[in-house]
Amino acid sequence: MTLAMEDPHIDVPALAAGIGRELTALASDMEHLQTLLSGLLCTSAPDEEVVVRAQALDHAFQSLHQLSGVLDRISEEASPAWRMERLRLLQPVSLASLAVRLSGRDSPEPQTDEFELL
């Protein structure tokens, strides 16, 4: 995939909004996973390690959700003049569909059922 476009820069407010949407989608996936796991935990007698891991998953969910909110506020408050070099910023992103969404191109919202096999 090539990230080269006419404008080699990306607006940071738009980038922050895109990252916020990605984090919201990940938080939603984690919330669904928590629901699934809580049903399983209620039907068995989990050991202490399982409970600790479940609490860590909940903490990760809450963190993703809150980071998404921070990025939303950045996207609303940051100056549109704040720009970064698109290629340098997104080159390390190995998931092609994610890189396209973050690049500012017209693309669909993050799909929770979209997986790229390694």
Residue 115 is assigned to a structural domain of this protein: no
Q: What's the 3-state SS for 20-72?
A: HHHHHHHHHHHHHHHHHHHHHHHCCCCCHHHHHHHHHHHHHHHHHHHHHHHHH
User: Domains in the chain: how many in total?
Assistant: 1
Residue 23 is assigned to a structural domain of this protein: yes
Q: Give the mean model confidence (pLDDT) for residues 79-101.
A: 90
At 67 the pLDDT is: 95
Please give the residue range of the domain that contains residue 51: 10-79
Query: What share of the chain has pLDDT > 90, as a percent?
Result: 42
Mean pLDDT score of the chain: 83
* Listed range (34-48, 85-99, 104-118) with the worst mean pLDDT: 104-118
